[in-house]
Structure 1
Amino acid sequence: MMTTPIFGATAQPDECRLYTLRNASGMAVTISERGAALRSWHAPDRYGRMADVVLAEPDHASSASPAARWQGRHAEGGVSLLLTAPGGAELLVNYHLDDDGSLIINYKATAAAPVALDVQLRPYFNLNGGHADVGDHMLQIDAAYFVEVDAGGAPAGVAAVGGTPFDFRQPAPIGPRLRWSGTQTRLMGGFNHCLFVRDHYAGGQGALREVARVVDPGSGRRLQMYTTEAALQLCTGQRAGFCLEAHARPCLMSAAWPQVVLRRGQVYRQTTVYRLALEA
């Protein structure tokens, strides 16, 4: 689809630049050079009232580059951000906002030497605009298995979601699930777990498909997530917001799990789409 012009905001020389994308529906998305992070997403509710559905701290940085500065620029109707990471890897992230409310994020990484890749932008959302917590948000994830963790948060094994708080194969409110008794949610203070949305292990980019959706009954906003990846990370923190982020799914026994290890000259690609719309 055609999109409306892009507007960018420049910063002082010693500050990170912010880039803003707008579409014909009146949405406005802002991306920061620090961490290549999604900083805000203003969108209307069912009554046409605008609100920011992203929770972001000032100068929030991704865990992949806590101190590095990404170099951003307008490109191909969107925003491109490039980071040269230690070890010679280059990370490129492209954001594009369509008029149907789809925020398309394309990732590309190349390596000059073997390197563990862990690109985490970790966008946190609250579809009511922060007026309340996300306890009544209805979450659905197409996943039959999740990764159990130990007391330190490290992967400990794979378990079926059936009979656990992680079973979101049918829509369910987030809040009540956080109150379920269970070792896993107690260890992490909520959800901070990987769920498998495909049956295969990593070994090539899969087809883009919907793997999760979240609906806020109050505002009528609906967020759908599409990805080419085999897993996603579900995080809830203290119920102020939620995060759904795509991950590759290497073998559980890999020492770099859940990272992707790039060999020299290898290229890693990933596409994730967040589509924000209103329930009919």
Structure 2
Amino acid sequence: MTNSSIGLIRGIAPLALLALSNPVQAATATTSDFGKMPNGEAVKEVKLTGNNGVSVVLITLGATIQAFNVPDKNGHVADITVGYDKVSSYIDAPNYWGQTIGRYANRIANGSFKLDGKTYQLTQNDGTNSLHGGKEGFDKRNWKLASVKTNPDGTVSATMTLRSPDGDQGYPGNLDVTVVYTLDDSGSLTMQYSATTDQPTIVNLTNHALFNLGGNGWPYGTYDEKLTIPASRYTPINDKLIPTGELRAVDGTVFDFRNGRMLYDGVRDGSDEQIVLAHGWDHNFVLDKGHTDKPELAARLEHAQSGRVLEVLTTAPGLQFYSGNFLDGTLLGKGNVVYRMGDAVALEAQLFPDTPNQPNFGSAELDPGQTYHRTIIYRVSTQD
């Protein structure tokens, strides 16, 4: 057994044992209205609760994780994600805070790509780039709540669906998308994404939660947290935050998270041009595991003071680590908290940015008759 395996088992044990000590309880799911869209359509809320004290609030607007409530090592519960308290804020001041991202997560250079010899122009919402699906990406849609149920294994789940029509934001093909959120009693929230198309298209779905293990509004931001990413290479960027195509070794740089790195260590290191370009970390890491059939570890975030641990597991080959560089104090979030630079971080499991324009990154194509699949797990625990 490796040291990393021992660390994972130690981290999971407290919440898992708590669940086992309450065998008569079971995870529960409740549904209510979160608010209304401008056209009067209801935005539904689903709360999934495990018997270990972990609960997740989902809303259909953006198929979003609105809250992720997790006990610390002393049993005190806090929401470890940023977000808003009401629908109007998600609409009037949109941001990528817990939403499902699509049709293509991350950046596409100049908002264009070629597929089968044809050039497609996407909406541009990040300078000349298309970011996270364009101006009206999946994060801004009110998804359909297809089902909420208790499963035979004792887990609870919510299923949301979306139809993205041919030409949506410039993407070809009618795309039918499903995301299933499942919470168990040992601290794992599993997201299973699937999609089908009637024309060749590109797909790259992820969740864009921003985490602070100290809790929403923790005064020290995330700089007192430790991050591990099992990646020996990353994709450096140009001044438009588009990968250059290079797969650069992390050895000897502030991009080496393989043995764990405190987030204060490197985020302001102006001797590294990549930190200057992105105002911190906003880079894709090439996971050593590559693309896998079953979810494997992509990141581990630890907060010593609370004892909270978050592990991200995925089938995807890449992980975008974003250190909250553009949280500028102008947005008022949950509980009237002002979010400032570094107050939360994103760990986005994904294909590499701009893959449709960079053949050495692989393929993002989905064809008729195929089904797109991706699994992401957010696994929370505590340690002393």
TM-score by length of 1: 0.91
Which SS does the other structure have where 2:28 is aligned? Answer: coil
Q: Which residue of 2 aligns with 1:50?
A: 77
Alpha-carbon distance in 2 for matches of 1:252, 1:69: 28
Deviation for aligned residue 1:78: 0.4
Q: Which residue of 2 aligns with 1:100?
A: 186
Q: Does 1:148 align with 2:248?
A: no
Alpha-carbon distance in 2 for matches of 1:252, 1:124: 23
Which residue, 276, 280, 304 being the options, matches 1:217? 304
Alpha-carbon distance in 1 for matches of 2:382, 2:277: 35
Q: Does 1:68 align with 2:136?
A: no
Q: Does 1:186 align with 2:259?
A: no
Alpha-carbon distance in 2 for matches of 1:28, 1:52: 9
8 Å contact 2:232–2:287 — kept in the other structure?
yes
Q: How does 1:142-181 map to 2 (within 5 A)?
A: 142-156=230-244, 157-181=246-270
Which SS does the other structure have where 2:61 is aligned? Answer: coil
Alpha-carbon distance in 2 for matches of 1:44, 1:71: 30
Alpha-carbon distance in 2 for matches of 1:22, 1:7: 9
Deviation for aligned residue 1:15: 3.7
Alpha-carbon distance in 1 for matches of 2:344, 2:352: 25
Mark the runs of 5 or more structure 1 residues left unpaired by the alignment. none
Relative distance call for 1:263 and 1:253 in structure 2 (3 A) is closer
Deviation for aligned residue 1:265: 2.0
8 Å contact 1:42–1:53 — kept in the other structure?
yes
Alpha-carbon distance in 2 for matches of 1:258, 1:36: 27
8 Å contact 2:243–2:354 — kept in the other structure?
no
Paired AA for residue 50 in structure 1: V
Q: Which has the larger radius of gyration?
A: 2
Q: Which residue of 2 aligns with 1:80?
A: 159
Q: How does 1:22-61 map to 2 (within 5 A)?
A: 22-57=49-84, 58-59=89-90, 61=99
Greater shift, 134-143 or 224-233, is seen at: 224-233
Deviation for aligned residue 1:121: 2.3
Q: CA RMSD in A?
A: 2.3
Deviation for aligned residue 1:119: 2.0
Deviation for aligned residue 1:10: 2.1
8 Å contact 2:355–2:363 — kept in the other structure?
no
Alpha-carbon distance in 2 for matches of 1:21, 1:141: 28
Greater shift, 27-36 or 258-267, is seen at: 258-267
Deviation for aligned residue 1:66: 4.2
Q: Which residue of 2 aligns with 1:138?
A: 226
Alpha-carbon distance in 2 for matches of 1:103, 1:124: 15
Q: How does 1:188-207 map to 2 (within 5 A)?
A: 188-198=278-288, 200=290, 205-207=292-294
Please give the per-residue CA displacement for 1:56-95, whole angstroms capped at 9, x wherever unaligned.
Answer: 2443554341432211131443011111113211111111
Please give the per-residue CA displacement for 1:19-41, whole angstroms capped at 9, x wherever unaligned.
Answer: 11000012210111111121101
Deviation for aligned residue 1:199: 5.5
Paired AA for residue 74 in structure 1: V
TM-score by length of 2: 0.67
Q: Which residue of 2 aligns with 1:239?
A: 342
Paired AA for residue 191 in structure 2: I
Identity %: 25
Alpha-carbon distance in 1 for matches of 2:278, 2:27: 42
Alpha-carbon distance in 2 for matches of 1:278, 1:266: 40
Q: Which residue of 2 aligns with 1:18?
A: 45
Relative distance call for 1:265 and 1:146 in structure 2 (3 A) is same
Deviation for aligned residue 1:3: 4.0
Q: Which residue of 2 aligns with 1:279?
A: 383
Deviation for aligned residue 1:135: 0.2
8 Å contact 1:250–1:258 — kept in the other structure?
no
